[in-house]
């Protein structure tokens, strides 16, 4: 595995910046400039790069879609949230038409925010492409067909030009797919959810979203520590604060930044990516959560190696 690219990082439903959000960013940038003049574009770019992420950029608003790039010719994708639309456009721009490609898509679960991008995934309409949809739900194929059925969508599933196949995986069993060992694991979520452990010869990536971790579930906690063991990157559902996850939003099927740090430290993972962001959180709130999580990691680290904590955003690329 070479890198991971995030195309959609929000949970539940897509969101967009509102005009007031953009005005706030502009005002913050102008205030930080404090009347200075920039004699070149490079000087301006340097100033913008010095601004807080919440001012100079955005975490984005597309729902879950993550690409794992390998040395092989086939494409590895986790979930088909609304981020699948820009991903598909990027693949068409890179490979053109006709130039048949193979896409392996791993589905965590069948809720709409993780499937809704598939009807807008341009490669599915191109003859010659092969799309293999992997998952552990018996209703996997029906869910994909259903969301494109009238009156829900104007283009029926049958109009896909690509050859689409469905692969029903066995949980807790390693499957060799496109040069990787892929192991699904059952997670606590309404209707069931599955995380995936992707292993190459020298790299391991964990994709785990829509998973609730209860504080009193000791055996299950130990199982996830083994699942995360020594991973280079853990992409983790940190939708709620710990207080929310164990109180008003208990049994909602999501986790917190605090639990993500605890599990990754116990598993000796190298990097934690906070993911599946709460849609009501703006860029300032998400940046504050990231800073708090990094501080938490520092004060709870003990004698172990430092855990690198980042917050995923649409367009982020991580080299492995």
Q: Kindly write down the DSSP assignment for every residue of 30-98, as one continuous string.
A: HHHHTT---SSHHHHHHHHHHS-HHHH-----PBSEEEEE-SSSSEEEE--STTHHHHHHHHHHHH-SS
> Is the pLDDT at 260 greater than 70, yes or no?
yes
CA 268 to chain centre: 21
> Is the pLDDT at 249 greater than 60, yes or no?
no
- Tell me if 8 sits within 8 A of 15, measured CB to CB: no
Q: What is the pLDDT of residue 289?
A: 92
Q: What is the mean pLDDT of the chain?
A: 93
Round to whole Å and give the CA distance between 114 and 136.
Answer: 14
Strands across the sheet containing 180-187: 175-177, 180-187, 193-199, 204-208, 233-237, 271-275, 308-311
Q: Which of 112, 179, 164, 89 is nearest to 134 (CA)?
A: 164
CB atoms within 10 A of CB 55: 20
Round to whole Å and give the CA distance between 88 and 54.
Answer: 27
Length of the chain measured in residues: 320
Residue 124 half-sphere exposure toward CB, CA atoms < 13 A: 24
Q: How confident is the model at residue 244 (pLDDT cuts 50, 70, 90)?
A: low
Q: Which of 31, 32, 25, 24 is nearest to 50 (CA)?
A: 32
Torsion sign, CA atoms 190, 191, 197, 198: negative
Please state the rounded mean pLDDT for residues 256-278.
Answer: 95
CB proximity list for 38: less than 8 A, separation 6 or greater: 44, 47
Q: What is the pLDDT of residue 194?
A: 98
Q: Which residues pair with 65 in a beta bridge?
A: 8
> Is the pLDDT at 74 greater than 80, yes or no?
yes
- Tell me if 212 sits within 8 A of 113, measured CB to CB: no
This prediction's pTM: 0.94
Q: Which residues pair with 105 in a beta bridge?
A: 77, 133
- Tell me if 11 sits within 8 A of 315, measured CB to CB: no
Over the stretch 210-219, which tens digit does the pLDDT of each residue have? 999 876 768 8
Round to whole Å and give the CA distance between 238 and 278.
Answer: 8
Q: Which domains does the chain have, with CATH numbers?
A: 3-16+61-319 (3.60.15.10)
Q: How confident is the model at residue 248 (pLDDT cuts 50, 70, 90)?
A: very low
Over the stretch 165-189, which tens digit does the pLDDT of each residue have? 999 999 999 999 999 999 999 999 9
Q: Which residues of 273-312 are buried (b: 16+ CB within 10 A; e: fewer)?
A: bbbbbbeebbbbebbebbeebbebbeeeeeeeeebebbbb
> Is the pLDDT at 245 greater than 60, yes or no?
no
- Tell me if 275 sits within 8 A of 238, measured CB to CB: yes
Measured torsion, CA atoms of residues 43, 44, 45, 49, in degrees rounded to the nearest 10: 100
């Amino acid at each position: 595995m070479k890198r991971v690219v995030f195309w959609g990082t929000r949970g539940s439903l897509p969101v967009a910046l509102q005009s007031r959000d953009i005005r706030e960013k502009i005002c913050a940038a102008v205030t930080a400039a404090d009347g200075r003049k920039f004699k070149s574009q490079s000087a301006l770019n340097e100033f913008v790069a010095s601004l807080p992420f919440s001012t100079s950029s955005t975490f984005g608003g597309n729902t879950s879609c993550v690409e794992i790039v390998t040395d092989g010719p086939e494409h590895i994708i986790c979930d088909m949230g609304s981020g699948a639309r820009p991903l598909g456009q990027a693949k068409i721009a890179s490979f053109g038409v006709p130039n048949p490609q193979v896409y392996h898509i791993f589905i965590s679960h069948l809720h709409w925010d993780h499937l809704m991008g598939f009807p807008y995934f341009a490669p599915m309409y191109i003859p010659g492409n092969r799309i293999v949809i992997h998952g552990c739900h018996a209703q996997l194929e029906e869910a994909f067909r259903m969301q494109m059925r009238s009156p829900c969508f104007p283009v029926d599933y049958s109009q896909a030009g690509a050859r689409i196949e469905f692969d029903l995986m066995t949980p807790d069993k390693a499957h060799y797919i496109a040069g990787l060992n892929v192991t699904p694991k059952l997670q606590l979520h309404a209707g069931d959810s599955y995380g995936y452990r992707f292993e190459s010869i020298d790299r391991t990536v964990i994709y785990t979203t829509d998973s609730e971790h209860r504080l009193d579930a000791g055996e299950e906690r130990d199982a996830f520590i083994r699942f995360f063991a020594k991973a280079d990157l853990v992409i983790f559902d940190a939708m709620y604060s710990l207080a929310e996850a164990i109180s008003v939003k208990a049994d909602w099927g999501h986790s917190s930044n605090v639990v993500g740090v605890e599990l990754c430290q116990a598993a000796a993972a190298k990097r934690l990516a906070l993911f599946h962001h709460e849609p009501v959180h703006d860029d300032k709130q998400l940046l504050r959560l990231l800073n708090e999580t990094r501080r938490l990691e520092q004060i709870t680290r003990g004698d172990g190696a430092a855990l690198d904590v980042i917050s995923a955003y649409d367009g982020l690329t991580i080299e492995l």
